[in-house]
Structure 1
Amino acid sequence: MDMPDSEWVEVEPLPHVNGDVRSVLDSVASLKAAWETVVSHNTESFRESRRRGLRRHAIETGIIERLYDVDWGVTEALVAEGITAEAVARANSGALGEDVLQTINSQYDALQFLSEVARDKTRLTTSLIKQLHHAFTRTQRTYTATGPNGMRFEATLLHGEWKQQSNHVTRPDGSKLEYTPADQVQPQMDRLVELYNEMGDEDPVVRSAWLHHRFVRIHPFQDGNGRVARGLTLLTLLSANLAPLVVDRRERDRYIECLDRANAGDLRPLVRFFAELEIVALRSELERPAVERGGAGSGGALAVLDAHIDRLRNLRNEKGAGDRRARIESLANSIHGRIGSWLSAFGDHVQERYRAIDPSASALTTSVGPPDDKARWWRRQVVTTARSVDFYVNLTDGVWWSQLRLDVLGQRLRYLVFLQKVGHGESGVLTLTVYAEVVEKTGEDGRDTAEQIAVSSPTESVTWTYVDSLETQWERVEELLDDSLVVALDRFSNGLS
């Protein structure tokens, strides 16, 4: 969207935030309650899950700033195994320079420092913000600056010190956004911290969005402001016993758009964005490894088997597990039925339109859920979507799936909607994801090969807990189905000949 030139503005208190964000904030609160029911902060599995979240943030926060680029396969290896050259080598999908590894490690160290600050409930101060900047940028010696004549050059970065020159940014549409002048940074930062510390009763997601945006509008440092802003967001959330969200490369455009909307006076898109990412973060921490590290001891295969059996017994006997299971399965059946009806009606409209170019075009809708054996179909696609959305899917009883299959001009589109239980055991959490593929050919063995053309990203999913109702998120479901079908049908139709 085109934006007008924006002069710098003084820090103002949090405006009243209402409208369409209430439902998503309620979803965060509901998921947090479910998360607290099944997650123990004192286990190695939780600590490793938290480390994975911080590693992902450490990698993606630099990619968002275009400091470096990291192949997706390498990213997943670093998240799972640790930020080391050995993990990069084992990924077999790209290389990474030692300087980039050092930068990512310094950012990870900064996040660990930030986690300790949150755990100790340390009050936010300008001195702490300067410490965070120094921690995030300690391996960065220079930054790209623009001189009065418009020439770009590499300038020395001052770690943990306010900027000494006023600055602005020119948006893609040519408009200018003016940041706080250098001589006003100290009083404006003092005001920012004062107001933030006074709003302790506000919803932490709203509070984090306000702090993030107002900090970015001041832009107090020469460089690294985005990394510090995202760090401050985590500080707010972790202090409220929430999970560390991650703004990853797939969400960059929406992130920038939300900040621009906030610049124009509407904080709600940024609040909604952070709330959706917080849902992703809480959901990803519901994973529990089958056996705690070192839990099997040295007793060999039988000891490992006993550890697995004990784990399964504990999960099934866990207080409230039976009630969560019954309620989430009842909810899944209701959602599943509504999705099947929606896809069937949509398929009828699509079939009618495609028959204008192919009289034999057909649209077929199929829906299956547990305990049907077919609920275990599509394992590869189910796991792919869960990984894309960053959570562990419980495949014990299968998933609820619906398929819209289109056959047009000899080509086939499979559009799949999955309802998946999240986490080991009965967490009481259910997530909807989508996946689409074009069937390329069928071999002599009757198996086909297919090309993936659409898959959910972290915020392109919908999550319920066992205390929710179908209607809680149905508007979001329709929005997600419609948006993802736009992408799938566009890719499919472009391939027709």
Structure 2
Amino acid sequence: MHQVLTQNQETTEALIPATGETIDVPLIRGEWKRQVNNPMRSDGLIHEHCPPEQVASEMDNLISWHRQHQENKIPPEVEAAWLHHRFTQIHPFQDGNGRVARCLASLVFLQAGWFPLSLTRDERVVYLDALERADRGDLSPLIQLFSKRQKQAFIRSLGLSEQVLAEGRRTQIAIAAIAEKLKQNQSATRQDRCNKVEGFANLLYEIAIERLDKLAEDIKVSIEELVNEFDVFTVVPPRDGSKSYYHRFQVAQTAKQLGYFANIHAYHDWMQLAIDLQTSTIILLSFHVLGHEYRGLLVCSACAYHKDVTEEGDTSPSDIQALSESPFQFSYADEEHHLIERFRGWLEDALVTGLEYWNSSL
């Protein structure tokens, strides 16, 4: 693996201890390191990895422990984070250890039938911070980061457009008429599925409204004796759909943060909890389609933002933040009892995060 990942890399940097000079030296591919490779952190401290003479035995231990974890059915996100971090602690190669570590984590996920590990440049700071936390004995931030990326990958896969999925189902011209007939039959079935999932959406909508109304009342009771000027209220659109296009920007930005495409054209319903105290804070819930094609799969997203007043007297949203790591997904195939239970738990977590967001602005 190391040979493949470094096949286009001829050299790597090396430090001359006596002079402090950095020079380029030939990269040894596919073999354990022969010299120490302890990097210097930004704060000037040296991070010590496994010495060269102990690499072989440490790697044997790593493989043995990994096999034991597989036998004990350690969850993929936990094992991927552990294997990645433990490998980086050993740092067995002269260079390219981070690349190999991320590939090892990807192999754990692929063996579990999940997705390869994909980290963006925007996540570099969070990634490095999670590794440092792991160095201090806390592996949970790295596990959470890997879990978040897997959730987003699953969401994106569910949101694949029907056009992309259909690429592997092209038929010959000779059976085009049959394909068209099947398509018509499927469209009727799809409409039934959409009708059913929209019935679920209406049910969850009523649950959310009831919870927001109760939360607004609780906030009023808690602060009415402490503050003179404030207002807390819920906002719902007319049921005729005339304002279903509202909040497109906030919904799109939230979906972007969570890594999926929000389609509000095929279906959209929303509600708000507005808190006017010093600043105007909005908690927005949005029910919409996941992905470009509507096939009976809906989600509910939650975000919070501040409503600023412009010089022209208009209002604009700022500091939009998703209130959950992933949107709440549901489909026509859900069972109503389990669906309601799942939604109540997700909604409560999102609202707690929204209240923390409001608290940070006070």
Taking the aligned partners of 1:474 and 1:403, their CA distance within structure 2 comes to: 13
Aligned residue in 2 for 1:481? 354
Match of 2:203 among 330, 335, 343: 330
Taking the aligned partners of 2:23 and 2:185, their CA distance within structure 1 comes to: 62
Aligned residues of 2:201 and 2:287 also touching (Cα < 8 A)? no
Taking the aligned partners of 1:351 and 1:312, their CA distance within structure 2 comes to: 54
Taking the aligned partners of 2:13 and 2:216, their CA distance within structure 1 comes to: 51
Match of 2:56 among 186, 206, 229: 186
Aligned pairs (5 A) from 1:255-266: 255-266=127-138
Aligned pairs (5 A) from 1:383-398: 383-395=252-264, 396-398=266-268
Moved more, 390-399 or 468-477: 468-477
Taking the aligned partners of 2:238 and 2:130, their CA distance within structure 1 comes to: 37
Taking the aligned partners of 1:156 and 1:343, their CA distance within structure 2 comes to: 65
Taking the aligned partners of 1:330 and 1:264, their CA distance within structure 2 comes to: 46
Taking the aligned partners of 1:309 and 1:436, their CA distance within structure 2 comes to: 46
Aligned pairs (5 A) from 1:228-243: 228-243=100-115
Which ranges of structure 1 fall in alignment gaps of 5 or more residues? 1-130, 299-304, 491-497
**More strand per residue:** 2
Aligned residue in 2 for 1:249? 121
Query: What is the TM-score of this pair, normalised by structure 2?
Result: 0.74
Taking the aligned partners of 1:481 and 1:163, their CA distance within structure 2 comes to: 49
Query: What is the TM-score of this pair, normalised by structure 1?
Result: 0.57
Aligned residue in 1 for 2:149? 277
Identity of aligned residues (%): 27
Question: CA offsets per residue over residues 259-287 of structure 1, 9 Å max, x none?
Answer: 22322223233223322222111111111
Aligned residue in 1 for 2:235? 366
Aligned residues of 1:385 and 1:433 also touching (Cα < 8 A)? yes
Superposition deviation, residue 240 in structure 1: 0.9
Taking the aligned partners of 1:315 and 1:216, their CA distance within structure 2 comes to: 49
- Secondary structure of the residue aligned to 1:400 is strand
Aligned residues of 2:283 and 2:302 also touching (Cα < 8 A)? no
- Secondary structure of the residue aligned to 1:197 is helix
Change (3 A) 1:451 1:189: same
Aligned pairs (5 A) from 1:263-412: 263-291=135-163, 292-293=166-167, 312-316=187-191, 326-327=199-200, 329-339=202-212, 341-342=214-215, 345-346=218-219, 362=231, 364-368=233-237, 372-395=241-264, 396-404=266-274, 406=276
Matched residue type, 1:342: L
Aligned residues of 2:281 and 2:304 also touching (Cα < 8 A)? no
Change (3 A) 1:153 1:243: same
Matched residue type, 1:223: D
Matched residue type, 2:256: R
Taking the aligned partners of 1:403 and 1:238, their CA distance within structure 2 comes to: 41
Change (3 A) 1:151 1:282: same
Residue 472 of structure 1 pairs with residue 340 of structure 2: no
Taking the aligned partners of 2:209 and 2:172, their CA distance within structure 1 comes to: 43
Taking the aligned partners of 1:214 and 1:282, their CA distance within structure 2 comes to: 26
- Secondary structure of the residue aligned to 1:455 is strand
Superposition CA RMSD, Å? 4.2
Larger Rg computed on CA atoms: 2
Match of 2:6 among 137, 146, 150: 137
Aligned pairs (5 A) from 1:34-73: none
- Secondary structure of the residue aligned to 1:190 is helix
- Secondary structure of the residue aligned to 2:31 is coil
Aligned residue in 2 for 1:450? 316
Moved more, 135-144 or 210-219: 135-144
- Secondary structure of the residue aligned to 1:399 is strand
More RCO (CA 8 Å, sep 6+):
1
Aligned residues of 2:287 and 2:299 also touching (Cα < 8 A)? no
Aligned residues of 1:399 and 1:418 also touching (Cα < 8 A)? yes
Taking the aligned partners of 1:230 and 1:382, their CA distance within structure 2 comes to: 32
Match of 2:35 among 142, 165, 184: 165
Matched residue type, 1:289: S
Change (3 A) 1:399 1:137: farther
Change (3 A) 1:461 1:341: farther
Superposition deviation, residue 211 in structure 1: 1.0
> Across the two proteins, how many residue pairs are aligned to each other?
343
